[in-house]
Every structure is written in C-alpha cells, then in structure tokens.
Amino acid sequence: MTRKRKILLIYTGGTIGMVKDHTSNALKAFDFSQILENIPELKQLDCEISTVSFDAPIDSSNMNTAYYIRIAELIEENYETHDGFVVLTGSDTMSYISSAISFMLEYLSKPVIFTGSQLPIGYLRTDAKENLITSIEIASAHRDGLPIISEVCLYFEYKLYRANRTTKLSAEQFEAFTSMNYPPLAESGVHLNFNQDFLEVPTHSKKLIIRKNLCSDIVIIKLFPGISMKVIESMLNIKGIKGVVLETYGAGNAPNNEEFIKLISKAIGKGIYIVNVTQCVGGSVLLGHYETSSQLKEIGVIDAKDMTTESAIAKMMYLLGIGIKKDEFVLYYEQSLRGEITNK
C-alpha cells in the first residue's frame, strides 16, 4: 500500500484568505483556519495536509526579505517530515517572492508550489479553490516513490510554471501570470499533464541548504526616452547601493551617448554590479547585437539574457548575500542556477 504524501500548507496572507471589512468595505486578511473550513474538498485528496500560518497574515505589497526568510525557515523546519509544500501569498508580488525562494533553497529535491487567487476564497466565483486544490495535488504527485516536481513553482489558472520564469500580467483576469520564455511545467484539465521534458531533475543527494543572507541594496532603473541623466546619476550615487537592474529596450539596447556610458562605467568602476534585463515581457537581452548595446558590454554590464526582472532582482539579492568575488559573481549571474536562464 502506497503511503499518503504529507503536504505542508503555508499561509502568509493575500487575497485567497481575504474577507470584506463591514466597516470600510475593504478586503482584509482573516484567520487561516477559515480557509480549510471553506474547502471541505481538501479532505478528499489522497494526502495528509498540515498547516502553518504567519502570526499576522500580510498583504503581499508589504513583503520584504525578512518574510522571504521566514517562508524559507518554515520549509527548512518541516523539510524532513513533509513531502511537499504549498505556499499561499498575494499574487501581486508572488513572482518576486517565489523567484527569491527558488535561489534561497539550494539542493532542493521536493516540490514547493506557490499559489493564490484573484478573488477571495469565500466569493461565489472565486478561482481560489481550484488553484489551491490542484497545487496540493501537484505537490503530492509522485512516480516510483519520488516527487514529480522537485523545484519552486507557481500554479495559477490551470498552469504550473517555473517560479523564476513568471511575471504577473493582469490584475483583472484569472489567468494572471505568464512565462513567456519557458513553457508550462504542467497543465490541468480533465487530467493533470506534466511536461516531463521541461522539469528540473535533481542530480544530487546533498542536504538542503537555506541561504538566509539576502542583500536588498539594489535599485531598478527603467529607461524611457528622454530620461534625465541627472536622475540616473542620482540613483547610481545612492549611498550603500551594491547592484542595479537596468531595464533596457528590446534586446538590451540603451542610449549610447557619452554621458550615459560614462555614468554607467563610473558606477561599475566603484564596484556596483549592473545587470541588463529587457523591458519586454518575452525575449532576451543580446548584448553587443546592436550598436546601442555594444558599449554596455565593453564596459562590463552583466547580461541577464532571458531572465525576468523579478528573477534578476532575486538572483542579485542571493549572489550579493553570499558575498562572492567579482569574477565569480559575473560567472554565476550569467549562467543558469535554478533554470532561470535558457541554455542556448
């Protein structure tokens, strides 16, 4: 007889566990136990579900690295006693959070599935029940005694994605997320179909390591036509800044005027890491492909390739937190560590 898989449900807050405040009519978080009361169907799943919640559930807009660490610690504390994990957070920052967790969990060999909803679980037309039930099914799915999924994923509206490949596209549609540069890992319909060829497969037997030292001394500079060089200069001169995610046009293009290049070059000379990521939802940076990106390559701007902005930030936090040397930083940043970059 096959034993039942043990799944830990981690509730941090978010729309999935919201109710309306009768006074203000605004949505607010409620006690986690009410989620289970609202979904009696969970008892029909072929797994054992235990739950843990943040002491005070938070809106995902209030997420920060301290909460990332708390999520990682809850997984660490329960790793040996559970077969999989489902993490409920608000969808607004879910791609940021799940991307960060994917880097923090080294040598992961069990499923960690992030999910949430666009409507609260108590609403008649909610997407919360399907998202939660299927996420638990995915976390408990196994073959030949081993979990089918062994990475950090995000499940929303019938599709399972690699977490560090996702971006939230819509605040209105149930199909809120996309992964433009990597296919879904699974799709839910009449059957739950896993796209086996796209899954990460553990090639190690090492013990899980949790990287808790994240550096958030980072800024995003999103270029736009006519952006003031004074604005860029002031951002690059923020006290204590260690990294910049530079959102460029198309395939990594940026102004090639002398003032802009000097500002970027000077910042790199001071030891600030500058990563080039495209503003486009899909596609890749191709440093040096156009004249307007060749100078960035020459002065030492790091190529994020087809990473999302969310993943680029998470990876920078992780690598800066480890405190590796400059050459190693560039080497590791430009290669895939958790499937966040397409190997070409």
Using CB atoms within 10 Å of the CB of residue 276, give its burial: 0 to 12 exposed, 13 to 18 middle, 19+ buried. Answer: buried
Q: At what angle do helices 65-78 and 94-104 cross, to 10 degrees?
A: 50
Helices (H) and strands (E) in the chain, counts: 9, 20
Q: Phi/psi at 229 (nearest 5 deg)?
A: -65, -25
C-alpha dihedral, 234 to 236 to 240 to 244, nearest 10°: 140
> Is 15 a residue of the active site?
yes
Q: How far apart are CA 117 and CA 137, in angstroms?
A: 17
Distances (CA, A) of 206 to 105, 202, 218, 226: 12, 10, 31, 50
Taking phi over 0 as left and psi of -120 to 50 as alpha, with beta for the rest, 89 belongs to beta
In the set 2, 12, 15, 51, the catalytic residue is 15
Report the amino acid identity of residue 218: I
Burial class (CB in 10 A: 0-12, 13-18, 19+), 111: buried
Q: How many residues comprise the chain?
A: 344
Q: Which helix (H) or strand (E) holds 142?
A: strand 142-143
Here the tokens at position 113 are 């599935």
Report residue 270 as tokens: 């001071």
Rounded-to-integer distance, Cα 159 and Cα 135, Å: 10
Question: Any idea which residues carry the catalytic annotation?
Answer: 15
